[in-house]
Amino acid sequence: MIVATVETNRPPAFARKGLPFTVDVSSKTTVGDIKAEVAHKIPKFYVSRQKITLKNEKKALEDEIKLADVGLGSGGDLEVKDLGPQLSWKLVFIIEYLGPMLIHPLFYYFPEWFYGQAVVHSELQRFIFTFVMLHYAKRELETLFVHRFSHGTMPARNIFKNSFHYHVLGGLLMALDAYRGKYSADSAFIKGSVMEDERFLWACTGLWTFFELSNLSTHLTLRSLRPAGTKKRGIPKGYGFGLVSCPNYMFEVLGWIVVCVMSRSWATCFFTVAGAGQMAIWALAKHRNYKKEFEKEYPRGRKAMFPFIL
pTM of the model: 0.86
State mean pLDDT over 1-15.
70
How high is the mean pLDDT of the chain?
89
State mean pLDDT over 86-106.
94
Query: What is the C-alpha separation between 47 and 33, in angstroms, rounded?
Result: 10
Query: What is the C-alpha separation between 191 and 38, in angstroms, rounded?
Result: 67
* Structural fold of domain 2-83: Ubiquitin-like (UB roll) (3.10.20)
pLDDT(279) > 90: yes
Report strand pairing: 86-88 vs 50-54: unpaired
- Summarised one tens digit per residue, pLDDT across range 285-307 is 999 999 988 888 999 889 999 99
Higher-pLDDT residue of 140, 10:
140
Query: CA–CA distance from 243 to each of 222, 251, 280, 300, 305 (Å)?
Result: 15, 13, 15, 10, 9
Query: What is the C-alpha separation between 80 and 199, in angstroms, rounded?
Result: 61
State mean pLDDT over 204-216.
97
Domain range summary for the chain, segments of one domain joined by +: 2-83, 87-297
CB contact set of 138 (below 8 Å; sequence gap of 6+): 212, 216
Question: How many Cβ atoms sit within 10 Å of the Cβ of residue 25?
Answer: 23
pLDDT of residue 228: 64
Per-residue confidence at 96, pLDDT binned at 50, 70, 90?
very high
Query: What is the C-alpha separation between 44 and 54, in angstroms, rounded?
Result: 22
pLDDT(1) > 60: no
State mean pLDDT over 71-87.
81
Higher-pLDDT residue of 227, 15:
15
Cis check for the bond before 20: say yes or no (omega within 30 of 0). Answer: yes
DSSP tag of 62: P
Burial level of 161, CB count in 10 A (0-12/13-18/19+)?
A: exposed
State mean pLDDT over 122-140.
97
- Cβ atoms of 96 and 162 within 8 Å: the answer is yes
Query: What is the C-alpha separation between 201 and 131, in angstroms, rounded?
Result: 12
CB contact set of 8 (below 8 Å; sequence gap of 6+): 15, 19, 20, 79, 80, 81, 82
State mean pLDDT over 106-119.
95
pLDDT of residue 244: 95
What is the tally of helices (H) and strands (E) in the chain?
A: 9, 6
Per-residue confidence at 231, pLDDT binned at 50, 70, 90?
low
